Amino acid sequence: MLSQERLSGSHECERAWVEVDLGALAENTQQIKGWLAPETTLMAVVKADAYGHGAITVAQTVLKHGASSLGVATIPEGIELRKAGIDAPILVLGAVTMPAQVRAIADWHLQPTLSSVKQALVFSNYAENLEAPLDVHLMIDTGMARLGCPAEEGFQFIDFVRRVPKLRIVGLYSHFAAADAPNPQLMYQQHHCFETILREVQRANIAIPQLHLANSAATLRDRSVHYDQVRVGLALYGLYPAPHLRDIVPLRPVLQVRSRITLTKELRPGMGVSYGHQFVARRSMRIGVLGIGYADGVPRLLSNRMEVLLRGQRVRQVGAITMDQMMIDVSDFQDLQEGEVVTLLGEDGQEQITADTWAETLGTISWEILCGFKNRLPRIPVDQGFYNQPY
């Protein structure tokens, strides 16, 4: 059961919100760091607003508990962290190609990913006027067919960039396409490809301080691919990339989604609920209206296919989920009060619903679920408590 604490002096939790369990985040960070060799560092991937958890708060927490650097997808994401006073190394994982972007990289002391000679020349043209060299990471495409220099041109690319004035190679990496698959064949093909390039680099006596290859799945799966650093996203947030990776490191979900019951009403047999009457009452029943909908990140395709938690019990959702609201069957709670808290994702008593639950129902992945929660849902640190009192 949720505690009876009440939020005072704020309207943030009147409708719906996301709770971020910083204790779970700290524990996950420490568990993952403990799984690594002492010389292997942890890059926390905080792109997409830290997978919907709130990038600044997450970054501050993971850096305090074992992470050494951060990964983002875009320059604005990196700038947001710098403006918050975070001075750890920040790698921009996405493509950077415009001169204005290079200027921002330099001004905010971010580390870009370079994937081509053309891209390196864009950086070189700007960097020649800088006093200090720009730190860059080079990416090799070993089988993802996304960003990165083609593997067959990998050594030539590395050799070219190391000769470019004012560019300093601080990292070399690639990205696995299927490290979470039950059959690791593709993962090890990519690993072999990366190793082949590294042997050429070593023969040429090219020193690169940080080699990194492993994402969350590879980090959990095989220490032989850890190298100098691992890049971990999903696992930090307490979810596993695949079921067969669950027993390696204990993790706790960090994100919980709550909403309040804003109204209750009685239905007669034959009454339809919500748009299109996708649900029709077969008996007298009572429903509760929640102040959360698909505009907040609850997929409309979950309509009539999901459950929520109320007073530690599972309750079914009924009718089409609308933009700002959804309905649940509260017939078994005759003393229910408007303002009580319902858990969409998270724990209540002995019951738990996770992003994996929704993902399995929808045939998608938990990453997409986490990233779907919109900014109009405030992020509340869990140490402010759960709120289960009426308004």
Question: How confident is the model at residue 127, as a pLDDT?
Answer: 83
Last residue of a domain, one of 188, 216, 245: 245
Are the CB atoms for 35 and 236 separated by under 8 Å?
A: no
Q: Identify whether 70 is part of a domain.
A: yes
Residues 246/232, Cβ–Cβ less than 8 Å? no
33 is an active site residue: no
Q: Which of 72, 100, 103, 104 is nearest to 86 (CA)?
A: 72
Give domain status of residue 346, yes or no.
Answer: yes
- E strand or H helix at 13, and its extent? none
Whether residue 156 is found in the same domain as residue 126: yes
pLDDT, tens only, 201-218? 999 999 999 999 999 999
What's the pLDDT at 4? 40
Task: Give the residue numbers spanning the domain of 175.
Answer: 22-245
- DSSP assignment, residue 133? P
- For the ranges 126-140, 190-204, 308-322, 336-350, which has the lowest average pLDDT? 126-140
Annotated binding-site positions for substrate: 146, 323
Annotation says 188 is catalytic: no
Residue 25: strand, helix, or coil: helix
pLDDT in tens, 364-374: 999 999 999 99
Q: Note whether 152 and 230 are same-domain residues.
A: yes
Q: What is the pTM of this model?
A: 0.93
Domain co-membership, 67 together with 209? yes
Out of 33, 47, 227, 294, which one is annotated catalytic? 47
314 phi, psi to nearest 5 deg? -80, 135
- Residue 17 lies inside a defined structural domain of this protein: no
Contact at 8 Å (CB) between 292 and 302? no
CATH number at residue 376: 2.40.37.10
Q: Residue 112 belongs to a domain with what CATH number?
A: 3.20.20.10
Domain match, 272 and 226 both: no
Which of 245, 275, 305 is where one domain is finished?
245
Angle at 71 between CA 67 and CA 73, to 5 degrees: 160
Do 235 and 96 lie in one domain? The reply is yes
| 168/38 same-domain check | yes
Q: What is the token pair recorded at 153?
A: 């041109």
* Residue 144 in domain: yes
64, 265, 275, 391: the active-site residue = 275
Residue 4 lies in a domain: no
Distances in whole angstroms, Cα of residue 226 to Cα of each of 47, 201, 338: 21, 18, 51
Asked if residue 112 belongs to a domain, the reply is yes
Cα separation, 390 vs 341, whole angstroms: 9
Quick check: 285 pLDDT over 60?
yes
Pair (155, 193) in one structural domain: yes
- Same domain for 284 and 200: no
* pLDDT over threshold 50, residue 318: yes
pLDDT digits (tens, 9 = 90+) for 295-304: 999 999 999 9
In a domain, 390, yes or no: no
Do the domain assignments include residue 389?
A: no
